[in-house]
Every structure is written in C-alpha cells, then in structure tokens.
Chains A and B, each alone.
Chain A
C-alpha cells in the first residue's frame, strides 16, 4: 500500500517538473554523434563501447581491460596521434579530455519526514583525462566537484558539503604482459592472454567486477542531514556495495554512512591492483585503503582482495560474466572506538542479450573482533543485494528497473532493513545527453529510520557527457 500523503504544493511541483522535463527538451536538436574523448580519438560512436554511457558493452570492457586501447592493436600510429620514440603524444587535447555532469535537478521525497522538494544544479561534475603514454602505460585522471556530498564527522554525526578534488579514480596502469610474455603477436595459440595489468593510484577495483560501482545509470540521490549533524535519510546508492552496518566509524573516528559504497566496491580508493586475463578468465588481486579514508589513513594495514571473473558468450548477441569476490578489511573500521576486521564476500553476474542488460550483485559482510562493549548489541553480519535491468527500447529511450535489498547489521537499536524498487526512464536527446525521470519506491517499511524515511522519491535530472 502506497501512502500518498503530501501537501498539495508538492504534487504541483512534481507535475510541473514532469511536464517541463518531457516537453522543454523536445525542442532541443536531436542527433547522434560521437563526443567524448575516446570516441573522438578512435572516430567511433559512443555505443561502440557503451550500452549507454557510462555502462560498458562487451567491446568497451575489452577496451578498458586492455588499458584504453583496442585489443590487439597498439595505438602509436593512430590517425590523430604522433609518436616520439616510445612516447605517444596526442595532437588534439580533445582526444584525451572528457567531462561528465550528472545530477538530479529536482527531487521530491514523500512518505517520510520531512516531505521535501529540492531544486539543484547538476550535483556532480567530473573531468577526465584518459589515454596512453606509451603502448604499455596508460593513465586515467579524474577530478570532480560534488555538491551536497554527505561526509561523516566525529561522534556519529555527518555534514553536507561540496567536495572538490581528486575524483573517484586517479591512476597509472602498466601492462606487464609484453615484458613478461613478449609482444602479443608472438604467441599464436592457446588461450588469449592480456596483461597482467598493474594499476597504481586511486583505483576502483570493482571496474573489473561483473557489476562495477562506478557506471551507474541510476545515479545516487543525496541524503539529508539536519542542523545538528544527525542523518535523517541516507544517500540512495546500490545497497549491495554499501557499508550496511549502523554505528561504524573509520579508523580516524569519522562516521561511515550506511549506504556508502566501501571496500572493494568503493567507487575508488588508494591502492595497487593487478589483473590479468587468460582466455575467458580474469583474475584480480590488490590491496587498498578500503574506506575512502584518504591518503592519511591511520590504518597502516591494507585491505587485500581477490576477485575471479569468467566471461561467456561471443555470438548470438549474447555475452555475460560471473564474478566472485573475497575482501578482507584488515582493521579497517571501528566500533566503539576499537578497530575491527571486516570481511566481505560476494558474487556478481551480468548477462547482455541484444539490447537488454541485466546485472546484479549479492554481497555478504561480516565483522569480527568486536569490542566486548558491543558484543551483545551489535549484529556482526549484513547482506546486500542489487539487481538492475536496462533495456534500450528505442534509439533514444532507455528503461531501467532496479531492486535493492539490505539486511543491515550494526547496533541493534539503530539498524533497519531496506528494500527499494526504482523505475527510471532516460531519454537521449543526443548520444551524450540524457534527461531522466525516476521513481524510487520504498517497498519495505516506512519509518523515521534514515534508511526507511521515505515512501517515494521522484527525481529528475540530466546526464551529460562531453
């Protein structure tokens, strides 16, 4: 049963927004052109690599895996590139530079407290520089400016602020393959080998997982913090990747938002990552900070992870993959000011058939080494599940449906479970410019708990890539 208890003004705004969103942009020019950096560079349409940006299709994944190069071709001689010795130099800046602006420009919550409607500019603006320095060294630098980001502060409180700086990812990637195995053309048989690739810097390891954290078509909706710093509603993100525990703080004592993507599935954190492909298999391992603690982590121990992935398909418009993950958050967070170990296990899967793209992840979290003070009151295990399906209905319309489920852990007195269903439609006025409208319905209980404090979230926004 949905409760539509909201003031009249609220309904009016929503209707107004819907009308605006769907009629105003109709007058914008519609055409399909390749815009962002790699598309410009290789003279290809966005959809060669993306189902719809930022999701990757099978070719995009291979391109990404090969270090932003087209598998089997090293790009020194590319049309718009110059080669000086072994160093590539881009003759056009636009070939390495891209920009993405996303955000809800309007959102309205109902069913919880308080009911609210927000108007905003795109929340997140990201600049990217990506490409290759030499055949075997590639780079990806991302700067971002995020408005209304929620950050934990001390004493289980939060603040909302504008964050500018290094974006989610900032790394160099080295392909050790040629030096270990010789040039690719030399080995002529046996399974395909790619890599090992080593990424160093601020890395999102989950980019190789069957369901990657960054590349969301349903972007997050910021939560709400009151004047005193108490959180009233958590940021809406995929629950599978979330922290899931109520009452955790980082090694430096800053509160961790229950829905923040963490550990292997954090959207990017400092570390070293190694991955390689052998036939249909990919193996990945690395160490990272885990909780986005920045460069000055008091937690000297690093969080190691192992991931194995198997790809399948290759004909009949079909492809997919399954991945398994083990992640050890080594003394990575605190409960009642004592460091704990955080174990994460998970599976993810993806199938793509024709224009349908279905992916999901189920992730279990377990905390060990709880302080005696919390032993009786702290639930040490949690589970999160996210499944999404995207379908390209026409050249211009993408329909997405996502289900999120969280069986939270943490302090029993604080915790609550979450269940949401999101339906979204995106209209692409150009290949790189979409307007979306969505409704996230809390299909579980509505209460004042920050995880449950709404019934409906209707949001409208844009996703623009240049």
Chain B
C-alpha cells in the first residue's frame, strides 16, 4: 500500500512538471507581445511582420494590413502544407494530392487561376478567391467556411498581396444574367442546350454522353487531365449551382484545356443558360 501511494505521487509530479515544461515557452512568447519592437511601424507591406503584435498598439495600421497579417497566420498554419510557403503550389503534401494527374495546388504567383468570375486570362476578383476558400474544392481542398468571413477575407488578401502581387479586378465584363424569368429551366431549353453541346464542340472533350471522353489532355503544367464527367456533379470543382455552372462555361478554367465561352455567347446569354440546363438534365436535376 505504502508503495502504491508513493508511485501515484510520483506520477502526478511527473505530469505537473511536464505541464510546466510545456507552458513555459508559451508564456515567454506572450511576453514578446508586450515587448514588441519598433519594426512594427514599417507597415504596410510584409516586412517586419514577425515583430508585429497586438492591434491596439498600432492605430495607424490600415484594416487591410491587419487582415493580411491575420491571413498570414492562417496561411502558415493550414494552407502552406498544400500550397507551399511561397504560394507556388509546392507544399509538402501537394505532390501526393495529384501524384501523376491533375489537379495539384496551383501556383498563385503564376497569376493563372481556375475559379474566377472574370474573363479568361484575367486575375480573379477577391470574392472569387474567397468563394473557393469558403466552399473548398470537392476531393482536393477542404472547405474553410469555419474561418468565418473575416478569416476567409484575411487569407484571400494575404494571397493577393504576397503571392499575386497585383491589384485584383473589382468588376467583371462578363454579364451574369440572373437565373430568373426567361432563363429558368425548361425541357425545351435543355434540348436546345443539347444541340449546342455538339455545335460548340463540348463533346470533343466531354464525350457525346458527357462522361468525359478525351484521355490525351494536359494542363498548363503538362500534367495529365481528364475532362470532368458532366453527369456527376460531385466532381465539379467550381460549384454545382445553376449560376456556378454558368460561370464555369463563361470564364473557362484557366490553366486547363477547358476554354471560356464568354466571347461566343456575348449578347446571347440565354444560349449559355440552355447549355447549363442541358448539363443539369444530364445529372437528372
């Protein structure tokens, strides 16, 4: 009995000392906050970030710069593992996501973005980045909805400022007709879309049945890529709502062979909706 007590005490001691050991570095880190250096004033920009600290100490800092800082923290905790610390898509996990085929995390610094509401070849809008981060990409990137809109915006800003390093467009020349009135789903519209599907040569890549025919395509990094199976909405990366599919068709997916059709449909947006309806009909929706 005597011995048992002694041992429990010993175990408890161990635990307590371990806790202390673990909390020690954390405390000293909190002290860094209060003794932060002058480097902080060098904002905006990313320099001196390491020394930055609590918000109240820097009234002169713009809210965007604050957000970028928060974005950096988020990025370096979660995103870098796939996207790489330099945003080049070469994070340690990235090759395992697409070992020998598309997709892999893209290189943010290349300026080539798949998921945009802007014309093919243009940079995405901030809201586009935010949508991708919020929704995630089925199969490949988790949804980060739980960061909250502030967190999502912060990390999108960080990507824009640090990796893209160009002003993002705030408007788009593509006309996004609302999915109402004449543009709502009808069987007639879908069958018109079915004809367009062949006329516009979608079938050359996606196959006559929409299941994805061509096997010889490569993405911009020369990695093998398969056209999406249009009959399975769960494989869509750019969203599955009517509006999402419309956007995909108009903007295309830059960096992949999937072209944008905005020019073709200029002034004839209803035909684009016909195509959307055809795809929906392929999915039995």
Interface residues of A (CB under 8 A from B): 34, 42-45, 47-51, 57-60, 62, 70-79, 180-181, 184-185, 187-194, 196, 272, 274, 276, 278, 281, 283, 285-287, 300-302, 304, 306, 313-319, 352, 354-355, 392, 394-395
- In chain B, what residue has the closest Cβ to A74? B146
Known: A42-B142, A76-B146, A286-B18. A315 touches B91 (CB 8 A): yes
Within the complex, the shortest CB–CB distance from A299 to chain B, in Å, comes to 9
Number of interface residues of B (CB under 8 A): 63
**Could you say which of B85, B141, B144 contacts A315, with CB atoms under 8 Å apart?**
B85
CB-defined contacts of B76 to chain A, threshold 8 Å:
192
Separation of A47 and B3 alpha carbons in the complex (Å): 50
Contacts of B144 in A (CB 8 A): 70, 72-73
A51, A274, A301: the one within 8 Å of B22 (CB): A274
Q: A62-B78, A301-B11 are in contact. List 13 more A-B contacts (CB 8 A).
A: A43-B142, A43-B143, A59-B91, A78-B145, A181-B26, A188-B54, A192-B77, A283-B21, A314-B81, A314-B84, A315-B86, A317-B91, A352-B92
Which of B93-101, B192-200, B241-249 forms part of the interface with chain A?
B93-101
Contacting pair A60 B93 (CB below 8 A): yes
Binds A, one of B67-75, B113-121, B178-186, B201-209: B67-75
Say yes or no for B227: interface residue by CB 8 A criterion: no
CA–CA, A283 to B144, complex, Å?
27
Contacts of A47 in B (CB 8 A): 96-97, 99
Which B residues have a C-beta under 8 Å from some C-beta of A? 3-4, 7-8, 10-11, 14-15, 18-19, 21-23, 25-26, 29, 32-33, 49-55, 69-70, 73-74, 76-78, 80-82, 84-86, 88, 90-97, 99-101, 136, 138-148, 151
A-B contact pairs, 26 of them (CB 8 A): A43-B136, A43-B139, A43-B143, A59-B81, A59-B82, A62-B81, A72-B151, A76-B146, A187-B73, A188-B52, A188-B73, A190-B29, A192-B77, A196-B22, A196-B23, A283-B22, A283-B25, A287-B11, A287-B15, A301-B7, A315-B85, A315-B91, A317-B94, A319-B93, A354-B95, A395-B100
Question: Can you name the residue of chain A whose Cβ is closest to the Cβ of B76?
Answer: A192
**Pick the contact of B92 from A43, A319, A394 — CB < 8 Å?**
A319
The answer to whether A73 and B142 have CB atoms under 8 Å apart is: yes
Find out whether the CB atom of A189 lies under 8 angstroms from the CB atom of B49. yes
- Return A84 CB to nearest CB of chain B, in Å: 16
Q: Which listed residue, A79, A188, A300, touches B4 by the CB 8 Å rule?
A: A300
By a CB distance below 8 angstroms, the chain B residues around A43 are 136, 138-139, 142-143
- Could you say which residues of chain B place their CB within 8 Å of the CB of A76? 146
Task: Name which of B21, B73, B88 has the most chain A CB atoms within 10 A of its CB.
Answer: B73
Given A44-B140, A285-B18, A315-B90, does the pair A50, B96 have CB atoms closer than 8 Å?
yes
B139 in contact with A274 (CB, 8 Å): no
Is there contact, CB below 8 Å, between B77 and A315? Answer: no
Known contacts A70-B142, A180-B26; A317/B92 CB under 8 A? yes
Note all chain B residues with C-beta closer than 8 A to A59.
Answer: 81-82, 91-93
